[in-house]
Amino acid sequence: MKNLKMLLTKPRNRVIAAVLSATLIISAVAAGLSWTLAANDDVAGEFICGNSYARLGLGTELVSYNSGVFRAATSDASIASVSVESGKSTVTANKAAPKSGTAVISYVPASGLVRNINYQVYDPNGLSGYTIPHGRLSFAKNKMTPAELKLTLKTDSQSFDYKAWNAANPDNKITWELIHGDVVEFDPDAGLVTPVNEGSAIIIGTVADKWGVTQQIPYLVQVGAGDASATLSSMSVLIPPKTEYMLNEYFAENNMTLLLLYDNGALNLVSSGFAVWREGAEGGGFGGQLVSGQTKFTAVESFTAIVEYQGFTDEVAITVVNPHIIVDGPARTVEGDILPGRLVGDPSSDWLEVAQNGGYSLIVRMKVTECTPFRAGVNDSNYAASTLRNKMNEFYATGLTNDTLKNYAAKSNALSRIEAIGAMVAADNKGFSVPSDDPITESDTDIMFAMSASESAQYCSLQHYKNTNVNGNVASNSTAQSNFYEMVKIGNGNNVAGKRYESWFRTPFSGTQAIHLMVSGGFHRDNANYKDNFLDQKGGLGIRPCMWVKSDIFVDLGIRANALK
């Protein structure tokens, strides 16, 4: 709509390469697309689903059996919910229209490697298309009496006059907006169009289709016969293609419609004969062509698409996003990038990203802030009352030279996520902190916290000891091992070979078995064997803060192009 109003007030076309223009002009004229050549045939529009996701009708359930899956989450509970019980997962589509749309379900196995599946929820009784009789509403120049706007809306099994549809669907009525009101007047309740002056006008209908997508239906009104010698002077995208996509979705033209303006002031609508391209490097020329149903978006990005028709172009903004789903439990381990300390107010140490969850990144300080042999009575098995917790809060409050980290910081539930001794990477969420979308207030604490045994085993370690099931050392996943080597090669200025780089956990652990853990030892022990095994080069275990931050920090600081890896 904005494009149309701009088109009627100022030119916004750009002429492009002559060879390409000539080719499209020939094909367009051959197809009879010019308004002076188009016949007054019915115009039929179809609302096509632009994805190939698994489909669920409103109110239906999909049951699947996934060995090892113990938790699942949904991106939009108003569209689809999910439950897991004894390896059986059930996805339930919302029962009430108009809650059609797409939802992403994240399945979490014991390994913590999240698997996302997209679902399309649709209304079997929703709109699948429309028909405009004769393609437009035409008035003879000398016949200025009102006429009824005719529009047929279609479902998969029935057809309705739009007024009958509105009466039967009060929550999804088609609404109207008139453009170029100096040519006609329109009464949407009565459906009557009254010609006022010779020329062309556009009436836009808006309604949700069966897929939950808001669709616009362009209706051309012509008063008078027009001038057969008129020349196309401008083009604008009236109804854009789909502009927002999820990762791995395909480009979809949907109900894309162009508005053509001629030198005599006449208007016309076309829904074919155009091409869509990426804007070229640095905004010049064309990049790759976007083909409906074939071009797949494989990266999170935002870019400008150029729509070309007969040598005229218009622009459309395209955005590709990754669904924002915070999983309650193990996050996705990533071989993360490094945040330079000099950029985030910590000149003494860089920070390493080790996990991602719902648009947030778990980062860990690569150097310990200090090394302390805590004593019994000062640190026991209660992290909430420990000196370790106090030192984490102290560093967040006073240890940074600027507010960069604080500006991207996220709250979490780390304080309440304490697993039992040795229960590392267990099939529950007790040892895994989860970020929160809730804003941080001045009274909030525990933004920085000590890592848990489970988090270390999952995100940053070589191997870990497990009391449950295995009762011995098990290798950590390859990404956790890579993060460990990245972390300790800097350590406190030493190499990893022959050195210890343990730090304090916020959770109890069988400390004497914590071999090669980046974070090791329980914070409640104080015996000779413990000290002999775990005192590092500075006389005590290290204090190594970690925290959840918005992943956007990596983009905003120029570390990488996309927030998520």
Query: Among candidates 519, 543, 511, which has minimal Cα distance to 390?
Result: 543
Does the pLDDT at position 19 exceed 60? no
What fold characterizes domain 1-36+231-322?
A: Immunoglobulin-like (2.60.40)
Mean pLDDT (whole number) for 542-554: 90
Query: Among candidates 142, 127, 259, which has minimal Cα distance to 203?
Result: 259
What is the rounded CA–CA span in Å between residue 45 and residue 153?
10
**β-strand pairing of 332-333 with 312-321:** unpaired
Strands (E), 86-124: 88-93, 101-109, 115-122
The residue among 519 and 79 whose pLDDT is bigger is 79
Residue 468 pLDDT class (50, 70, 90 cuts): low
Q: Supply the pLDDT for residue 121.
A: 93
Q: H or E element: which one contains 260?
A: strand 257-262
Does the pLDDT at position 226 exceed 90? no
Q: Supply the pLDDT for residue 531.
A: 32
Q: Supply the pLDDT for residue 147.
A: 92
Choose the most confident range, by mean pLDDT, from 200-214, 381-395, 509-523.
200-214
523 touches 372 (CB < 8 A) = no
Residue 46 pLDDT class (50, 70, 90 cuts): confident
Mean pLDDT (whole number) for 38-60: 80
- 436 Cβ contact partners less than 8 Å away, ≥ 6 residues apart: 326, 410, 411, 412, 413
Tell me whether domains 1-36+231-322 and 55-122 share a fold.
yes
Residue 398 pLDDT class (50, 70, 90 cuts): very high
- 443 Cβ contact partners less than 8 Å away, ≥ 6 residues apart: none
Does the pLDDT at position 380 exceed 70? no
Does the pLDDT at position 399 exceed 90? yes
Mean pLDDT (whole number) for 277-296: 79
Does the pLDDT at position 235 exceed 90? yes
Q: Supply the pLDDT for residue 521.
A: 35
Q: Supply the pLDDT for residue 113.
A: 62
Mean pLDDT (whole number) for 53-65: 88
Choose the most confident range, by mean pLDDT, from 277-286, 453-462, 542-551.
542-551
Residue 135 pLDDT class (50, 70, 90 cuts): confident
Torsion of CA 346, 347, 351, 357, to 10 degrees: 30
**CATH 2.60.40.3440, domain 55-122, yes or no:** yes
Pair of tokens at residue 49: 């689903």
Pair of tokens at residue 258: 């162009």
Does the pLDDT at position 77 exceed 80? yes
Q: Supply the pLDDT for residue 342.
A: 93
The domain locations on the chain are: 1-36+231-322, 55-122, 127-225, 332-556
Choose the most confident range, by mean pLDDT, from 318-332, 334-348, 383-397.
334-348
What is the rounded CA–CA span in Å between residue 437 and residue 410?
7
The residue among 514 and 191 whose pLDDT is bigger is 191
The residue among 361 and 437 whose pLDDT is bigger is 361
**β-strand pairing of 129-132 with 43-46:** antiparallel
The residue among 491 and 248 whose pLDDT is bigger is 248
Please provide the DSSP assignment of 46-72 as one string.
E-------EEEETT-EEEEE-TTEEEE
Does the pLDDT at position 525 exceed 60? no
- 509 Cβ contact partners less than 8 Å away, ≥ 6 residues apart: 421, 422, 424, 453, 520, 521, 522
Q: How many CA atoms lie within 13 A of 499 on its CB side?
A: 19
Strand order across the beta sheet in which 214-223 lies: 137-139, 214-223, 199-208, 175-179
Query: Among candidates 246, 260, 376, which has minimal Cα distance to 321?
Result: 246
Backbone angles phi, psi at 19, to 5 degrees: -65, -45
- 136 Cβ contact partners less than 8 Å away, ≥ 6 residues apart: 40, 43, 219, 220, 221, 222
29-66 burial by CB neighbour count: b if 16+ within 10 A, else e?
A: eeeebbbeebeeeebebebbbbbebeebebeeebeeee
What is the rounded CA–CA span in Å between residue 107 and residue 114?
6
Torsion of CA 355, 357, 360, 362, to 10 degrees: -30
| Average predicted confidence (pLDDT) for the chain | 77
Tokens 């808006």 map to which residue?
A: 206
**CATH 2.60.40.1080, domain 127-225, yes or no:** yes
Strand order across the beta sheet in which 147-148 lies: 147-148, 192-195, 184-187
Q: Supply the pLDDT for residue 345.
A: 94
* Percent residues over pLDDT 90 in the chain: 30
Q: Supply the pLDDT for residue 563.
A: 73
Q: Supply the pLDDT for residue 465.
A: 63
Please provide the DSSP assignment of 188-229 as one string.
TTTTEEEE-SSEEEEEEEEEE-TTS-EEEEEEEEEES---TT
Tokens 């050549």 map to which residue?
A: 37
* Percent residues over pLDDT 70 in the chain: 74
227 touches 264 (CB < 8 A) = yes
